[in-house]
Amino acid sequence: MPLERKNVVTSKGNPVTLLGPEIKVGDKAPDFEVLDNQSTVFSSKQAAGKIRIYNVVTSLDTSICDLQTKRFNEEAAVLGDDVEILTISVDLPTAQKRWCGAAGVDKVKVLSDHRELSFGLAFGVAIKELRLLSRSIFIVDKSDTVRYVEYVKEVASHPDYDKALSAVKALL
């Protein structure tokens, strides 16, 4: 049974329970396996050696998640090849592929945690009551150390893009 953390975040003003540990700056990034939009297993080890932005959203078909992912797709062009941006949700891989095509998102990897909640449980963002991921940003350096964490307090709010991007740029 995973660790339960209550009163960390809300969804539309209602408190929800997060499953998994609280990740903190300085922690080693946990390993996980999710699916890419071809339904092929993607392991966190495949991104080793790069600076990673884990852009965690509840569903790409909601307005804030849509805007958040598009924003990071735009930033990807500026950040360069040393940075890999991974957007993770529990949307099905086929839905993610459709959304990426319709939204013109082509610079970030969009990954699905729908099968096992591997990422959600490892990073402490799985919402028990909804079986969704809580909006959050994690930045991991080339040596797999977590350098920035934001658990967005209200799932229906935007993350602090400027702080996250400043943290990434400080690693370049």
Active centre residues (catalytic): 65
Q: How many CA atoms lie within 13 A of 133 on its CB side?
A: 32
Q: Which helix (H) or strand (E) is 77 found in, with range?
A: helix 63-79
User: CA gyration radius for the chain?
Assistant: 15
Helices and strands (H and E) in the chain: how many = 4, 11
CB 146 within 8 A of CB 138: yes
Task: Give the whole-angstrom CA distance, residue 148 versus residue 28.
Answer: 12
